[in-house]
Structure 1
């Protein structure tokens, strides 16, 4: 079977966009297609659009390991740019429904930017979820391997665990993300696993991240991680409400309202378009 696709990248975070009619593709096929050695290579597959009753468009986000993500900031920006390129939207505000909630979005074609209002961040253990009593999960010590690390957790429709690098006395590095990321992703405190961010505050308007993404592994950039980490830093009083998140893949600008509604703005570029040949038809 041949399936039309488009591949986009947002700050080095790449996704395949496939029509929702192909959602029957199985987990093994997803893994093959996302692998750079056996398929197109991507950080996940976006199936859409669908047309729910309560939003303009619907989207399903599948990780490279075949699991389904509630929300992805870079994935959402890519999907919004895809909708614009398909002439399904113009420059007006529109809504997209994901498992992690409904977001508002707008494409700025001249600047090659997409803005997404990602929703409200919560630090509540029940909502994230994090095991233990009801509380805001801020600056808690947990054991990870042979280390003790201080974490703050949040949800913006998907779970996040933020490690402040000042508490480790070191810089955020890829090696550290690869070492502690999978341990934190699968930590017993997180029943739904967690995305993990290693955060360094540069000044009141800038933070730096290294990221371990749930279901995908080490990644150069993540939109939802940027939103969650920025919100944690702001909640702790370390940064202002408008700031830039600096990652290996590039920068995202974040605006945080007094109610912790977070809006992100970042670039999206098309990589290629073509036909996917599934294993069944190969």
Structure 2
């Protein structure tokens, strides 16, 4: 069996993209882990599978983390789709449809309206999602929300002082979060500039997280820390975020790196 793929990234958050309209492959957790392995496979943070969608101008997208788990949304991957196709498109995910339009060097995506409802995130029990009364060492009182997948946002003085490689997996696996959770730490430089880092569930530390950027922006807006247009700086580069009528618009780079083929039995 030979399967064609495209390697892409959005600010260093990298993907193996398989176009299921062209090549059919059954993806289970073991297959995804084998392809995502950076030593014995292709290597990626997420594996993306595209498929036909019955609605005109739309394409379906499934998203698998490097550990084999499937998730509902990925902002950086969504930006990659119009770049791969060469035209604007509605990307239909498990979290709903996202309109993605080409822009200079990448794409802009309407990420929809963030959801701060505790049982939609979900949390294990009701809490004030604007300031959860919980903490892990220096990380306390985060904002919890969903932007298609679940996020915590901690506002701190210095994101580089946080041992996110150690605290991230602890928080991700905490019983408070029945579907696990993505963990973001953010420092507000001023009302239009934010720095952030992300521990991504199922992938670990990542150079960029599009939904994490949207979650951080929405959390900062809820706390009155940010204007309605900001530059958000991640380890892999900058994203521009804007809010209009409650909806989040994310604009940033997306890059096609190379094309290749997968041969043989990929399973782990």
CA contact (8 A) 1:230 1:254 kept: yes
What is the RMSD of the two structures over their aligned residues, measured on CA atoms?
Answer: 1.9
Q: What SS class does the counterpart of residue 5 from structure 1 fall into?
A: strand
Q: In proportion to residue count, which structure has more helix?
A: 1
Q: Which runs of 5+ in 2 are unaligned?
A: none
Classify 1:54/1:206 alpha carbon distance in 2 versus 1 (closer, same or farther; 3 Å).
Answer: same
Q: Is 1:4 equivalent to 2:24 in the alignment? A: no
Classify 1:148/1:76 alpha carbon distance in 2 versus 1 (closer, same or farther; 3 Å).
Answer: closer
Q: Is 1:196 equivalent to 2:188 in the alignment? A: no
Tell me how far 1:174 sits from its aligned partner: 7.7
Measure, in 1, the Cα distance between the counterparts of 2:113 and 2:77.
18
Q: What SS class does the counterpart of residue 140 from structure 1 fall into?
A: coil
Structure 1 counterpart of 2:106: 113
Q: Which deviates the most, 54-63 or 29-38? A: 54-63
CA contact (8 A) 1:141 1:148 kept: no
Measure, in 2, the Cα distance between the counterparts of 1:241 and 1:205.
8
Measure, in 1, the Cα distance between the counterparts of 2:266 and 2:218.
44
Give the TM-score taking structure 2 as reference length: 0.93
Classify 1:116/1:174 alpha carbon distance in 2 versus 1 (closer, same or farther; 3 Å).
Answer: farther
Structure 2 counterpart of 1:271: 257
Give the TM-score taking structure 1 as reference length: 0.89
Q: Deviations over 1:14-61 (max 9, x none)?
A: 101102253403322211211110111111111013214487111001
Tell me how far 1:232 sits from its aligned partner: 0.2
Structure 2 counterpart of 1:183: 170
CA contact (8 A) 1:95 1:103 kept: yes
CA contact (8 A) 1:22 1:47 kept: no
Structure 1 counterpart of 2:241: 254
Measure, in 2, the Cα distance between the counterparts of 1:114 and 1:141.
37
Measure, in 2, the Cα distance between the counterparts of 1:266 and 1:143.
32
Q: What SS class does the counterpart of residue 141 from structure 1 fall into?
A: coil
Q: Is 1:137 equivalent to 2:134 in the alignment? A: no
Alignment of 1:202-281 (within 5 A): 202-259=189-246, 261-279=247-265
Measure, in 1, the Cα distance between the counterparts of 2:259 and 2:92.
24
Q: Which deviates the most, 13-22 or 210-219? A: 13-22
Q: Which runs of 5+ in 1 are unaligned?
A: 85-89
Q: What SS class does the counterpart of residue 24 from structure 1 fall into?
A: coil
CA contact (8 A) 2:100 2:107 kept: yes
Measure, in 2, the Cα distance between the counterparts of 1:174 and 1:75.
28
Tell me how far 1:175 sits from its aligned partner: 5.8
Measure, in 1, the Cα distance between the counterparts of 2:128 and 2:97.
24
Aligned length: 265
| Structure 1 runs of 4+ with >6 Å offset | none
CA contact (8 A) 1:221 1:248 kept: yes
Tell me how far 1:127 sits from its aligned partner: 1.3
CA contact (8 A) 1:15 1:78 kept: no
Alignment of 1:95-114 (within 5 A): 95-108=90-103, 111-114=104-107
Measure, in 2, the Cα distance between the counterparts of 1:174 and 1:7.
32
